[in-house]
Amino acid sequence: MIGRLRGVLVSKQPPWLVIDVGGVGYELEAPMSTVFDLPEAGREVVLFTHYAVKEDTAVLYGFLRESERILFRTLQKVSGIGAKTALAVLSGASVDEFARLVQTGDIAALTRIPGIGKKTAERIVVELRDRVDGMAMAVPGFAEGSVPKDAVSEATVALQQLGYKPAEAVRLVKEAAQSGDAAEAIIRKALKAALR
């Protein structure tokens, strides 16, 4: 229904974005890979979208790159994977990196992504090994945004929304955060550390 939005970025509070399109504010949920590459609020953005309607909710997901939207949709075809886990995958690994993990059958690395256990990782490898080739056709991105007021808290909340337990989110942020880091930088470092 809604395949793409072009508008002004009103706010980004990972994983949520608000885009003003002709006076209408669209709220979207986005993976950290998209949030990292968006400009500061007030700038124009173009996002690929996925509109999902369930029994009692309607959610709009936003992606800076078409390859991310394709992987998001492909992941949900695997039994046991929903939108939340698909977003966690995109937040924890680039499309290229995920494709490499699937092609090499790296179950251990896949299980470090929140929401993916050993059996789900095995299903991903079996069902997606032949489908991940050629997914990484990137769309040009944007510069990173500005430093939020309380980057550590924002990063901790974002990791919890991605499925990490509160104690684990606090530990990852504490290990990743350095003085002056933006929330996006802390989240990126924490997610990379979690995949090791």
What's the CATH number where 78 sits?
Answer: 1.10.150.20
Counting the structural domains of the chain, the total is 3
Domain presence at residue 34:
yes
Domain presence at residue 54:
yes
- Band of residue 38 on the pLDDT scale cut at 50, 70, 90: very high
- Domain holding 122, by residue range, is 66-128
Whether this model's pTM surpasses 0.75? no
Q: Domain check: are 116 and 84 in the same one?
A: yes
Q: Which pLDDT tens digit goes with each residue over 166-195?
A: 778 888 988 998 888 888 889 889 888 888
- Band of residue 54 on the pLDDT scale cut at 50, 70, 90: confident
pLDDT value at residue 48: 94
Q: Domain check: are 47 and 78 in the same one?
A: no
Q: Domain check: are 97 and 111 in the same one?
A: yes
Domain presence at residue 141:
no
User: If you average pLDDT over residues 14-21, what whole number do you get?
Assistant: 93
- Band of residue 146 on the pLDDT scale cut at 50, 70, 90: very low
Distances (CA, A) of 178 to 19, 102, 183, 195: 30, 32, 10, 19
Of these ranges, 72-76, 114-118, 182-186, the one predicted with the greatest mean pLDDT is: 72-76
Cβ atoms of residues 87 and 118 within 8 Å: no
Domain presence at residue 176:
yes
Checking if the pLDDT of 134 tops 60, the result is: no
What's the CATH number where 12 sits?
Answer: 2.40.50.140
Domain presence at residue 100:
yes
User: How high does pLDDT run on average in the chain?
Assistant: 84
Q: Domain check: are 71 and 52 in the same one?
A: no
Domain presence at residue 136:
no
Checking if the pLDDT of 145 tops 50, the result is: no
Domain presence at residue 17:
yes
Checking if the pLDDT of 139 tops 90, the result is: no
Q: How many C-beta neighbours within 10 Å does residue 136 have?
A: 18
C-alpha–C-alpha distance, residues 31 and 95, integer Å: 12
135/41: higher pLDDT: 41
pLDDT value at residue 148: 37
Three-state DSSP class for 164?
coil
Give the tokens for residue 42. Answer: 């007030």
